[in-house]
Amino acid sequence: MSKKWILVAVTVVVALAALWQTNRIASQIREAEEAKIRLWAGAISQKAHLVNTTEQFFNQVATDEHRKMEMYTNILQSFNSPNFNSDLDFSLAYVHYIIDSSQTQILIVDRDSIITVPQELSGQKLTDSLRAEFSDNPPFMYNIWGMPMTLYYKESIIYSNLRMALDELTESILSEITNNSVFVPVIIVDSRHHNIIGMGNIDSASVDTPQKLAARLAKMGSRNDPVAITLPDNHRAYVYYEDTPLLKAVQWAPIFYLIIAIVLVVVSYNLFRTARSMEQNRIWVGLAKETAHQLGTPISSLIAWTEYLKGKTFEDKYADEVGKDLKRLETITHRFSKIGSVPELKEENVVEVINTAINYLQSRAPRKVKFATSFPDGEEFIAPLNSYLFEWVIENICKNAIDAMNGAGTFSIVLSQDARQIYIDLSDTGKGIPQSAQKKIFDSGFTTKPRGWGLGLSLAKRIINEYHRGSIFLKYSVPGQGSTFRIVLKKSK
């Protein structure tokens, strides 16, 4: 699988993992919000039950107060009895007990004049506003000694305080409906789903008509089932709710991540193509320069021999040298003809191929460069090779070594083998390769030479790894002491 498809596969896997994780988080948020809504609705129902119970208690208190006022008027009417003097003290004490225990506010009038309770109003005219203030409950009519009397009363202080508490509790329920603490958009409607009882986190303009309300409830119900609750008046109601803005944002996140993933794949693919195109351009430029370099040596040699032979008698040794350069041109032609195609591999003696390359280089290298080879006697080093390309590898490493030694030093080749592989160690006594550059030396276009083009080792790696199914690597390099490259070839079966 090529690098670009590996890149695409990794990006897709990462995107799918992000989608799965985001969906999992969204599901957890949805479950948490649903639990909060149900807990909140349950709390409203519990408060409504408490209000209903309290309302029943208030009704009982009101009934008790009415009975006390009835007893109060009965005692007052008992004053009409001929024997009331014997029980007067008891009756008056009981009357005061009723008033004090219930703390009921009463008003007794004779026709239109206030005659008693509260004492500060005694003797005043009964005004309409005062009558209205004490007319929350039906008045009691009675006679004392022939005089018609009317008793007005209003709820006791205790009852008023309890009623205020009930109103506050009811108001807190309405506030809980309209301002829920879970920040979930909610609408509470009656049992017929037509009238809004309360809502929270909802724009009123979106439900201000029956049509809009029905559409909004349908949309909310399609996402989440409504929750039934009981209100203080024992009426059934339903809570419709929808996802919070946070959950909606999280639910859109997978699409956002998918778009990002697609963009990353496209950008990465284009960058990869651009990088490959640039690399290929560097290779073609390098090949052109390498061609000029390869051809330059034999052509220069032939020109020199031509000048030297002008006017001289032609001898066999001169013909041999010219023949070597012509052979060199033929070799270069074969080398470049193999680039871009699958070369033919033949069973070759590695020692002979190395010697051929070394003999040509040795006669044309600086005199201060010494060549040393170590080939075990009596052993055969046979491997499938393309001699034209393999010699090119040896020459590239040798030329780099000569440059690293500044034209003076020792270049050595050591062969060894085991049952399956042949090992070729090529060493020099040059300046070595900096640690920072050792991982890049086989990259196309990388060079440490002022006028280099960074193609020799890149081509060498491609020839060994791809064409010969072997490997080449920097075995070690010590600054100031030299470097050693190792080539590993598979032996012939």
Q: CA–CA separation, 352 vs 329, rounded Å?
A: 20
Residues 479 and 367 occupy one common structural domain: yes
Residue 273 near residue 219, CB atoms below 8 Å:
no
Instruction: Give tens-digit pLDDT for 392-432.
Output: 899 889 988 998 898 899 999 999 999 899 999 999 999 99
Q: Where is the domain boundary, 185, 217, 243?
A: 243
- Asked whether residue 24 carries a pLDDT value surpassing 90, the answer given is no
Residues 351 and 484 occupy one common structural domain: yes
Residues in CB range of 409: below 8 A, 6 or more apart: 368, 369, 370, 401, 428, 429, 430, 482
91 to each of 76, 87, 149, how far by Cα in Å?
8, 6, 18
177 to each of 55, 232, 359, how far by Cα in Å?
20, 13, 98
User: What ranges in 343-468 are assigned the alpha helix state H?
Assistant: 350-362, 387-404, 456-462
Residues 53 and 187 occupy one common structural domain: yes
Residues 365 and 231 occupy one common structural domain: no
The confidence band for 221, taking pLDDT boundaries of 50, 70 and 90, is confident
User: What ranges in 339-442 are assigned the alpha helix state H?
Assistant: 350-362, 387-404
Q: CA–CA separation, 96 vs 91, rounded Å?
A: 9
User: What's the token pair of residue 91?
Assistant: 């009756």
Domain that residue 417 falls in: 342-490
Instruction: Give tens-digit pLDDT for 41-85.
Output: 666 667 667 666 777 777 777 787 788 778 777 777 776 666 655
Residues 53 and 200 occupy one common structural domain: yes
Instruction: Give tens-digit pLDDT for 157-195.
Output: 776 777 777 667 666 665 655 555 456 778 888 888 888
Look at residue 109 and tell me if it is in a domain.
Answer: no
Least confident of 2-6, 86-90, 471-475: 86-90
Residue, of 368 and 269, whose pLDDT is higher = 368
Q: CA–CA separation, 368 vs 428, rounded Å?
A: 13
User: What's the token pair of residue 145?
Assistant: 């000694």
φ/ψ of 39, rounded to 5, equals -65, -40
Residue 402 near residue 362, CB atoms below 8 Å:
no
CATH code for position 436: 3.30.565.10
Look at residue 481 and tell me if it is in a domain.
Answer: yes
Residues 49 and 182 occupy one common structural domain: yes
Residues 168 and 28 occupy one common structural domain: yes
Place of tokens 């010699």: 391
For range 137-144, the mean pLDDT: 82
Q: Which amino acid is at 435?
A: Q
Which of 229-233, 259-263, 337-341 is modeled with the greatest confidence? 259-263
User: What ranges in 363-455 are assigned the alpha helix state H?
Assistant: 387-404
Residue 49 near residue 230, CB atoms below 8 Å:
yes
Look at residue 89 and tell me if it is in a domain.
Answer: no
Residue, of 432 and 17, whose pLDDT is higher = 432
Residue 114 near residue 126, CB atoms below 8 Å:
yes
Residues 34 and 176 occupy one common structural domain: yes
CB atoms within 10 A of CB 378: 4
Least confident of 15-19, 52-56, 101-105: 101-105
Look at residue 263 and tell me if it is in a domain.
Answer: no
Count structural domains, the chain.
Answer: 2
Look at residue 468 and tell me if it is in a domain.
Answer: yes
Least confident of 23-37, 181-195, 295-309, 472-486: 295-309
Residue, of 414 and 270, whose pLDDT is higher = 414
The reported pLDDT for the residue numbered 307 is 66
Look at residue 331 and tell me if it is in a domain.
Answer: no
User: What ranges in 195-349 are assigned the alpha helix state H?
Assistant: 210-223, 245-309, 316-338
Q: Where is the domain boundary, 243, 266, 295?
A: 243
The reported pLDDT for the residue numbered 308 is 66
User: What's the token pair of residue 430?
Assistant: 């040059």
User: What's the token pair of residue 18?
Assistant: 């992000």
Look at residue 82 and tell me if it is in a domain.
Answer: no
Helix (H) or strand (E) holding 26: helix 3-77
Residue 34 near residue 186, CB atoms below 8 Å:
no
Residue 177: name the closest of 149, 203, 196 by CA.
196
- The DSSP 8-state label assigned to residue 446 in this structure reads -
Q: Provide the β-strand partners of residue 373.
A: 413
Q: Where is the domain boundary, 183, 216, 243?
A: 243
- Number of DSSP helices (H) and strands (E) in the chain, helices first: 10, 15
The confidence band for 351, taking pLDDT boundaries of 50, 70 and 90, is very high
Residue 137 near residue 66, CB atoms below 8 Å:
yes
Q: CA–CA separation, 111 vs 97, rounded Å?
A: 26
The reported pLDDT for the residue numbered 472 is 94
User: What's the token pair of residue 45?
Assistant: 């129902």
The confidence band for 149, taking pLDDT boundaries of 50, 70 and 90, is confident
Look at residue 394 and tell me if it is in a domain.
Answer: yes
